[in-house]
């Protein structure tokens, strides 16, 4: 017997709601839309909708409440389906974006010991204080409902100028633009000085987000070596000419992943070079406040007299990555950056900008940073001790003076993606070197984050990675 068109319709409606219930769009206890509204939406009579709802009821997915409607009920059979997912292996011959997509998929597994992300552990962040400030802000006369000014909340810009004092006394709040994290600051700066098809220099190794950003803006990248000992001004100048570079994009302090920091002399030379060649330097200083030394490292921006340095930073590594508050000092390109912000974002998020401004205003930032730096330094030393103890002798380890990652060179021929895949079998996530370059240079490197507090689990996980490595080498 063939199903009548009406039967098809009620089945379709029932299937649609069943899928939404399985996906938790309608959670246990929530009410399904009224029979009348569904009948209007599907263009069927109410009887057809009732039939669909009876069908869901017969499967134990919903229950009718007299004079109220249909509600999703708890159903044990739904549970396994909604929780089963699987980790994936990174493609060993894949490109950086394929590897990254798999890594992000695997990040959803909370039981892993995660050394793969360069973001601060929750325990390092002042979550309670921020929560309190958000509550106070919501209750205040300015609860962050209106658009903040295009350039960013004045309170926040004033506070940012204040916290810059350790590296520059000349930061003017009127020259600051707030953004959605450091990544938006970088995007706006690139927008302001490039066109699709242009070429930009990026250091190598570099944060994988740079390659995604450049490719989304349809920009070409040239990798340059600005590592401490390899820094060569003349070579850099030739590259700028040869590729008609439209910008240089560099992390000048505690580069992610290799921890490299340019010396003050190198920074000065770099500013002279970009000023002479009239090519903007986009300086990413997102890790600059997380130093383990006695003093904060300098910035290129502090030597910039003619506005060729576009400085970018955020509170994602030090306060609240989820608030998405960042900022830039675009120098001579201020108007263009503001214009691009208007056309892409209209404004920042008032509530989080106000909350961060309040946090800074209360003078808590310095104290918080001091505590965070000490904790990170201790964690780094403990991780380093375990890496030296458990990993084969043939490896080379970076010695970052800040930030939260170490960069490890494995013996030639050891494939970091293979190591990644072996490590997930033991519940450990690492970051393979392949994602930090677009020319696949770092296949025998890994990056490990030490943002997570050191404990027994961490030590066991490091021991496991070490023993896999011993097996791979022998
Ligand atoms: C060098 C670098 N720049 C920018 C970002 C992104 O920062 P945000 O989360 O503030 O956008 C990261 C994040 O890991 C990073 O390592």
Closest C-alpha to ligand 1, atom 15 = 207
CA separation for the pair 94, 90 (Å, rounded): 8
Distances (CA, A) of 128 to 18, 125, 376, 421: 39, 9, 20, 37
Paired strand residues for 445: 409
Residue 283: CB within 6 Å of ligand 1?
A: no
Look at residue 195 in the predicted model and tell me its pLDDT.
97
Task: Looking at the CA of residue 186, tell me the nearest atom of ligand 1.
Answer: 4
Region 376-386: mean pLDDT is 97
The residue among 210, 231, 227 whose CA lies nearest residue 219 is 210
Categorize the per-residue pLDDT at 80 as very low, low, confident or very high, splitting at 50, 70 and 90.
Answer: very low
Residue 316: CB within 6 Å of ligand 1?
A: yes
- pLDDT tens digits along 208-218: 999 999 999 99
Q: pTM higher than 0.85 for the full model? A: yes
Paired strand residues for 221: 200
The residue among 311, 242, 313, 301 whose CA lies nearest residue 267 is 301
Categorize the per-residue pLDDT at 90 as very low, low, confident or very high, splitting at 50, 70 and 90.
Answer: confident
CA separation for the pair 158, 136 (Å, rounded): 20
Look at residue 441 in the predicted model and tell me its pLDDT.
85
Least confident of 91-105, 114-128, 317-331, 354-368: 91-105
- pLDDT tens digits along 392-421: 999 999 999 999 999 999 999 999 999 999
| Most informative mutation of 316, 356, 431 for ligand 1 (most atoms within 8 A of CB) | 316
- pLDDT tens digits along 278-304: 999 999 999 999 999 999 999 999 999
CB 419 within 8 A of CB 447: no
The residue among 60, 84, 62, 83 whose CA lies nearest residue 72 is 62
The alpha carbon of 208 and the centre of ligand 1 are apart by a number of angstroms equal to 10
Categorize the per-residue pLDDT at 95 as very low, low, confident or very high, splitting at 50, 70 and 90.
Answer: confident
Residue in the structure block whose two tokens are 């800040």: 402
Closest C-alpha to ligand 1, atom 14 = 118
The alpha carbon of 138 and the centre of ligand 1 are apart by a number of angstroms equal to 28
The residue among 323, 341, 251 whose CA lies nearest residue 290 is 251
What is the distance, to the nearest Å, from the Cα of residue 464 to the centroid of all Cα atoms in its chain?
27
Look at residue 4 in the predicted model and tell me its pLDDT.
55
Using a 10 angstrom Cβ sphere, with 0-12 exposed, 13-18 middle and 19 or more buried, the burial of residue 54 is middle
| Most informative mutation of 121, 210, 288, 317 for ligand 1 (most atoms within 8 A of CB) | 317
């Amino acid at each position: 017997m063939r199903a009548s068109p009406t039967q098809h319709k009620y089945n379709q409606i029932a299937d649609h709601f069943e899928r939404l219930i399985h996906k938790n769009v309608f959670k246990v206890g929530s009410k399904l839309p009224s029979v009348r509204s569904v009948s209007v939406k599907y263009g069927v009579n109410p009887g057809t909708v009732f039939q669909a709802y009876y069908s869901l009821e017969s499967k134990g997915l919903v229950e009718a409440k007299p004079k109220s409607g249909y509600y999703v009920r708890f159903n044990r059979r739904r549970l396994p389906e909604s929780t089963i997912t699987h980790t994936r292996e990174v493609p060993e011959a894949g490109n950086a974006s394929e590897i990254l997509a798999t890594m992000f998929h695997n990040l959803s597994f909370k039981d892993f010991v995660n050394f793969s992300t360069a973001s601060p552990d929750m325990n390092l962040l002042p979550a309670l204080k921020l929560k309190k400030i958000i509550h106070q802000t919501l209750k205040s006369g300015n609860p962050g409902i209106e658009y903040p000014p295009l350039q960013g909340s004045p309170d926040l810009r004033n506070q940012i100028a204040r916290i810059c004092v350790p590296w520059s006394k000349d930061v003017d709040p009127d020259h600051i633009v707030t953004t959605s994290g450091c990544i938006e600051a970088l995007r706006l700066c690139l927008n302001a000085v490039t066109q699709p098809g242009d070429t930009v220099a990026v250091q190598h190794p570099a944060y994988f987000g740079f390659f995604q950003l450049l490719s989304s803006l349809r920009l070409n990248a040239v990798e340059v070596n600005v590592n401490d000992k390899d820094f060569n001004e003349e070579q850099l100048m030739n590259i700028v000419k040869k590729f008609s570079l439209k910008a240089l994009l560099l992390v000048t302090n505690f580069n992610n992943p290799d921890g490299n920091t340019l010396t003050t002399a190198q920074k000065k030379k770099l500013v002279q070079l970009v000023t002479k060649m009239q090519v903007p330097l986009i300086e990413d200083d997102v890790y600059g406040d997380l130093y383990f030394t006695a003093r904060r490292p300098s910035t290129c921006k502090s030597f910039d007299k003619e506005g060729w340095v576009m400085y970018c930073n955020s509170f994602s590594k030090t306060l609240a990555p989820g608030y998405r508050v960042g900022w830039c000092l675009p120098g001579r390109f201020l108007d263009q950056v503001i214009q691009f912000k208007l056309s892409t974002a209209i404004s920042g998020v008032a509530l989080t900008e106000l909350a961060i401004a309040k946090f800074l205003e209360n003078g808590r930032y310095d104290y918080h940073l001091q505590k965070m730096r000490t904790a990170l330094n201790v964690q780094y030393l403990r991780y380093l001790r375990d890496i030296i103890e458990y990993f084969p002798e043939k490896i080379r380890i970076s010695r970052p003076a800040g930030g939260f990652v170490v960069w490890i060179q494995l013996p030639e021929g050891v494939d970091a993606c293979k190591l990644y895949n072996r490590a997930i079998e033991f519940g450990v996530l690492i970051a393979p070197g392949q994602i930090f370059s677009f020319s696949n240079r770092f296949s025998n490197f890994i990056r490990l984050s030490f943002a997570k507090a050191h404990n027994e689990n961490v030590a066991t996980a490091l021991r496991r990675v070490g023993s896999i490595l011993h097996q791979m080498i022998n």
